């Protein structure tokens, strides 16, 4: 067994939730896959397809490199397939690792865009009601920013703070003024 096969363990990735057929957890699934492959020094598998085998007259070194890379592509493919729900497994069982992830991105990243739109709209339009809990309101807004970050949209900390202050009811006008003066 080659060294790359022995050193690669999909265990932690496979213990996580499988990619749902609806793609509702695609962003989290894809991030976990990227983290795992980066840690195993196999993220290159998702950068481009494996390509054709070297010609018979190629040097043994080139053939060995190709064989090692081919092993990595097969291992990653099998790990990805194992991390999919059954109907996705059936759909992608004859795809390579790169091709599989690219098609999954095409299928599910548009859902991320729609969710990002909805969450950002909530974040930028929410107003705290008078006499409601400030801590609950802050937790809700933090949840929005965290979800936006998971969807690839990082809100700068200063903008996040400004938005929280803007969302407070008129009774907090003195607090906001004092905060801005500090």
SS3 of the chain: the string is CCHHHHHCCCHHHHHCCCECCCCCCHHHHHHHHHHHHHHCCCHHHHCCCCCCCCCCCCCHHHHHHHHHHHHHHHHHHHHHHHCECHHHHHHHCCCCHHHHHHHHHHHHHHHHHHHHHHHHHHHHHCCCCCCCCHHHHHHHHHHHHHHHHHCCCCCCHHHHHHHHHHCCCHHHHHHHHHHHHC
Residue 141 neighbours by CB distance under 10 Å:
19
Domain holding 65, by residue range, is 3-109
Domain shared by 90 and 10, yes or no: yes
Domain end: 74, 109, 144, which one? Answer: 109
pLDDT the model gives residue 70:
95
Q: Is the model more confident about 6 or about 119? A: 119
Domain shared by 102 and 139, yes or no: no
Q: What is the pLDDT of residues 29-76, one digit of tens each?
A: 888 898 889 888 999 999 999 999 999 999 999 999 999 999 999 999
Q: Is 151 within a domain?
A: yes
Domain shared by 7 and 89, yes or no: yes
As beta bridge partners, residue 19 has 84
User: Domains in the chain: how many in total?
Assistant: 2
């Amino acid at each position: 067994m080659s060294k790359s096969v022995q050193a690669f363990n999909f265990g932690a990735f496979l213990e996580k939730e499988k990619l749902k057929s609806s793609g509702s957890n695609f962003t989290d699934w894809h991030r976990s896959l990227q983290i795992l492959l980066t840690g195993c020094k196999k993220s290159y598998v998702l950068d481009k397809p494996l390509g054709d085998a070297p010609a018979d007259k190629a040097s043994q070194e080139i053939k060995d490199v190709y064989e090692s890379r081919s092993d990595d592509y097969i291992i990653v493919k099998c790990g990805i397939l194992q991390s999919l729900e059954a109907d996705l497994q059936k759909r992608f069982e004859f795809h390579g690792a790169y091709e599989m992830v690219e098609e999954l991105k095409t299928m599910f990243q548009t859902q991320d865009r729609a969710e990002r739109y909805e969450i950002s709209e909530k974040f930028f339009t929410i107003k705290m009601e008078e006499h409601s809990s400030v801590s609950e309101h802050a937790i809700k807004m933090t949840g929005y920013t965290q979800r936006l970050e998971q969807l690839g949209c990082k809100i700068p900390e200063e903008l996040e703070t400004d938005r929280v202050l803007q969302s407070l009811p008129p009774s907090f006008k003195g607090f906001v003024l004092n905060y801005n003066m500090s």
